[in-house]
Amino acid sequence: MYIKLKSIILPCQFQNTSVQLFPAREDMSTLEKFHLQISKLELYPKDSNVVEQLLYEMATKPIVHVAQKEGGTQLKLVIDYSDDLQALFKPMRFPREQQTLPNHFYFTDFERHVAEIATFHLDKLLGFRRAMPVTGRILNITSEIYQLAEGDLLKTFFISPVGNQCFHGRCSYYCDTGHAICGNPDTLEGSFAAFLPSKELAGRKVWRHPWRRSYHKRKKAQWENDSNYCSLVKEIAPYDKDRRLLDLMDMAILDFLSGNMDRHHYETFKLFGNDTFTLHLDHGRGFGRPYHDEISILTPLLQCCMISRNTLATLLKYHNGPQRLSTAMRQSLAKDPVAPVLWEPHLAALDRRVSLILQAVRDCLNRSQERIEDNETPQNKNHLQKHGVS
């Protein structure tokens, strides 16, 4: 079955082809078991028990080594556990109620650990399953970071004037004494994201996002000045066929719901070729402005007028109830060790933004000279009209 908006025909389902990254063993770690679930369509299957076990282990297992992750604009730590388990740690900087500073550009905004946790849950609830599992955890800076740190990272630890244990690491932004990460007095909350398979086992291709922002204080990107920009994108591989452009619509919807403007590149697994899902990575700059809806994040959808039937059905389900997206998120996040993860206004914003996405779809249908076409055209058209999307 297909949805046709404007002149693009979209397949609603794709074949789920699994490729084994390495031979199965009886003594595999939970992370390795998770890696074996990765398929051409998704990172993990629906209701995966391995995901729940992985979240539990990242939140509870003893930490054996800590090192700063190279690169990046802000502080991140690579956490090593026993049994080859690794996680990427992002520390808590601010209370959940603190919003993005009004004079900060999207590329200088502070990262929020709760945004990483919440976006994993949001990605799962939308049925994408393209984000790696993330859990919250409360650490003791002294015993679980300072005593395990080495080299340059170790040199950045200090005791604040009020007796709190602090450190700042080394990075492009906010890695100095004035922007240090501090405990209370040495207790620190953070997010722990599971690692992808090594690039030796499963190489990844990095793609420049077609709707990448300028990352400049004064310049605009081409798509911001050209309403026909999508027609140019469609002429370029891999956006001229298969599922890639459709997946970018899903990514735009995910980012719009969370308010994440920081989407400059994306990645795919090389072994699956071009006809595979896009990984949803790095969401730390989401959930910063609950009272503002950044419509420009939806530009791919607004310009291309494309959306998958599965994604549309999911949004309609949350819009019409009986369970709204905010309720589903609240229930899902309640399981996390650092719950409540999100400030309530962020949850309320999700429902408001679902309505805005559906309004964008409605506007596309109204603008289009094409009707919804497939083998069951009348039924599908009536279905959308029934739910107020045509």
Q: Any known ligand binding at 267?
A: yes
**5: in domain:** no
| pLDDT tens-digit series, residues 173-203 | 889 999 999 999 999 999 999 999 999 999 9
Q: Any known ligand binding at 348?
A: no
Say whether pLDDT at 384 is over 80: no
Mean pLDDT in residue range 269-287: 96
Catalytic residues: 262
Q: Clarify whether residues 188 and 217 are in a common domain.
A: no
Q: Clarify whether residues 380 and 273 are in a common domain.
A: yes
Question: Which residue, 194, 222, 253, sits at the end of a domain?
Answer: 194
> Which residues, 6 or more positions from 333, have their beta carbon under 8 angstroms from its beta carbon?
117, 118, 121, 339, 340, 341, 342
**165: in domain:** yes
The whole-number pLDDT of residue 214 equals 92
The number of folded domains in the chain is: 2
Q: Clarify whether residues 362 and 273 are in a common domain.
A: yes
- Taking each helix axis from N to C end, the angle separating 244-258 and 113-125, rounded to the nearest 10 degrees, works out to 130
Q: Clarify whether residues 185 and 271 are in a common domain.
A: no
**1: in domain:** no
pLDDT band with cut points at 50, 70 and 90 for residue 296 = very high
- Give the domain range for residue 310: 200-386
Q: Any known ligand binding at 202?
A: no
Q: Any known ligand binding at 221?
A: no
Q: Clarify whether residues 171 and 261 are in a common domain.
A: no
| pLDDT tens-digit series, residues 101-115 | 888 887 788 899 999
- Range with the poorest average pLDDT among 24-38, 119-133, 334-348: 24-38
pTM exceeding the 0.75 threshold for the entire prediction: yes
Residue 48 · residue 72 · CB < 8 Å: no
The whole-number pLDDT of residue 341 equals 98
| pLDDT tens-digit series, residues 235-269 | 999 999 889 999 999 999 999 999 999 999 999 99
Q: Clarify whether residues 281 and 366 are in a common domain.
A: yes
**119: in domain:** yes
Mean pLDDT in residue range 279-285: 96
| pLDDT tens-digit series, residues 28-74 | 899 999 999 999 999 999 989 999 999 999 999 999 999 999 877 78
Q: Any known ligand binding at 199?
A: no
